[in-house]
Amino acid sequence: MSVDKVSRDSDDMPQGVEEKEQVVLSTLDARGEQGHAVQPAALSKKQAISAYFTIAAAAFGLISDGYQNNLMTMANVVFKQLYPKTYTSDVSTRVSNSLLVGAIIGQVIVGLICDRVGRKFALIGTTLFIVVGAILGTAAHGAHGSPQGLFWFLTFARGITGIGVGGEYPASSTAASEAANEKMIKNRGPVFIMVTNFVLSFGGPLAVSVFLIVLSAAGEDHLNTVWRVCFGIGILLPLTVFYFRMKMLSSMLYKKGAIKRRVPYGLVIKRYWRALIGTCGAWFLYDFVTFPNGVFSGTIISSVIHDGSVKRTAEWQLLLGTLALPGVFVGAFLCNRFGRRNTMMLGFSGYLVFGLIIGCAYDRITKIIPLFVIFYGFMQSFGNMGPGDMLGLVSAESYATAVRGTCYGLSAAIGKTGAAVGTQAFTPIQNNLGKKWTFIIAAICGVTGILVTYFFVPDMTGIDLEDEDRKFMAYLEENGWRGDVGEDADSESSSVDELEKQ
């Protein structure tokens, strides 16, 4: 990285950057005066194009994640109609949670693979898992037509899909953040949000729209066909990016900063413990509220409209999902102007305000269905604007390239653990405390999220990701770590000392 570029980027840095960064910059300036600063080699045409393809492939890949995350929203309503005695709340929770359990496994394992093997290998693997899981889910049957067997088969299939869906989070997000940092550093935040959280959020309305189209074509008398077709469409979405992922190249950040052997995890925790508490804790709270409210929102709306019409439930669900989308754009607009941390706290405050409004006035507000759906949509929109947009962004920005996939995967896995706990607790809370308490608890999580964000989440607005890589390497050297750095460390051994000399 050139001295001129470091100087330009330093002008945009927020106040509060450690004094050590100034020392690093001064050292680089001194080296430049001595004529030893290394200018970046011009990117090859293939490398330059690959960055754009990586960003686009992340977007299309995460659409399939959003679709899979929201597939059970209307499937729960369908299964409840088809198998009213068999599809109990326990079975519904088990089938829904299987995706989450798989996602937790995928996020941790694929996060490690991202750093130790490479982004490309991880992305291809996640695509294959989603395709195989979606095929199994579409073809699911119980022995001799047994409904219990069908739902156990679906539990297994959704678990396989979940490994791929979970793995997409660290794989796509780390690749997209690094590619955006190369091509459009000042707009890295908004671009990252649009190719990650926007497409994930768009998966909700997409899944319901597909359901409505298939339902209109097949009719409510053929619900078995409807849910299988919807599951089958989930096979096609990840296949759209498979070719591009086969052709992608590693980012320049990863090529220079990868540590594939002897990773000093103890030193990583010592350096990033505060950031890990922030990203893991905030993600747990966000998913604890968001995921069960998404998965069971169809069931909630179905109970409110009273007549039990599958089509009317889907129509209101589509409106709810659409109302949640504007928050994504507002968050993308604010992330540079208002800062990552402040935008996240503003989003959590929406849980507090709208959670209390809906929870305290639940019995009255549910009698006016449009008003209930609008307030419900506003609560989800604030979630998208704040933690929904910012968590992936700060998790991709807060850690050095060498451990970005690992720390991102761990943060997302803790988030999905919150989703699994929330989904497991959702029905007991409704049954024992009343439906209004699901919204009051969302308000409590909003307050807790504000506190966790304020005290633990770092704000990397305007900072080049390569700056943190240099500070991380200097930190490792100071603590006595020596090892190979760089994706091609096997053939061109690069030590920390050599990287610092650059």
Per residue in 322-344, pLDDT tens? 888 899 999 999 999 999 999 99
Number of C-beta neighbours around residue 438 at 10 A: 24
Express each pLDDT in 406-455 by its tens digit.
Answer: 999 999 999 989 988 887 887 788 778 887 888 899 999 999 999 999 99
CA torsion sign for 114, 117, 120, 124 is negative
Which DSSP string do the residues of 28-42 spell out, in sequence order? Answer: HHHHHHTT-PPPPPP
Give yes or no for a contact between 226 and 78, defined as CB atoms under 8 angstroms apart.
Answer: yes
Tell me, rounded to whole angstroms, the distance of Cα 17 from its chain centroid. Answer: 27
Tokens of 205: 């309305």
pTM: 0.81
Which DSSP string do the residues of 341-356 spell out, in sequence order? Answer: HHHHHHHHHHHHHHHH
pLDDT value at residue 496: 46
Express each pLDDT in 46-59 by its tens digit.
Answer: 666 777 778 888 87
pLDDT value at residue 346: 96
Which one of 3.90.380.10, 3.40.50.1370, 1.20.1250.20, 3.20.20.450 gives the CATH number of domain 45-465? 1.20.1250.20
Express each pLDDT in 99-134 by its tens digit.
Answer: 989 999 999 999 999 999 888 899 899 999 999 999
Tokens of 131: 């395709």
Query: What HEC string does 388-445 produce?
Result: HHHHHHHHHHCCCHHHHHHHHHHHHHHHHHHHHHHHHHHHHHHHHHCCHHHHHHHHHH
Q: Rounded to the nearest 5 degrees, what angle is found at the Cα of 221, between the Cα atoms of 210 and 76?
A: 55
Express each pLDDT in 234-268 by its tens digit.
Answer: 898 888 888 778 878 888 888 888 888 888 999 99
Contacts of 318 (CB under 8 A, 6+ apart): 205, 208, 209, 212
Tell me, rounded to whole angstroms, the distance of Cα 490 from its chain centroid. Answer: 32
Question: How many residues are present in the chain?
Answer: 502
Express each pLDDT in 54-96 by its tens digit.
Answer: 888 887 788 888 898 888 878 888 898 889 888 888 888 888 8
Amino acid, single-letter form, for residue 210: V
pLDDT value at residue 365: 85
* Domains of the chain, residue spans: 45-465
The mean per-residue pLDDT over the stretch 466-478 comes to: 92
pLDDT at 19 over 60: no
pLDDT at 310 over 80: no
CA distance linking residue 482 with residue 493, whole number of Å:
12
pLDDT value at residue 15: 44
Number of C-beta neighbours around residue 7 at 10 A: 13
Give yes or no for a contact between 476 and 467, defined as CB atoms under 8 angstroms apart.
Answer: no
The mean per-residue pLDDT over the stretch 487-498 comes to: 49
Give yes or no for a contact between 485 and 495, defined as CB atoms under 8 angstroms apart.
Answer: yes
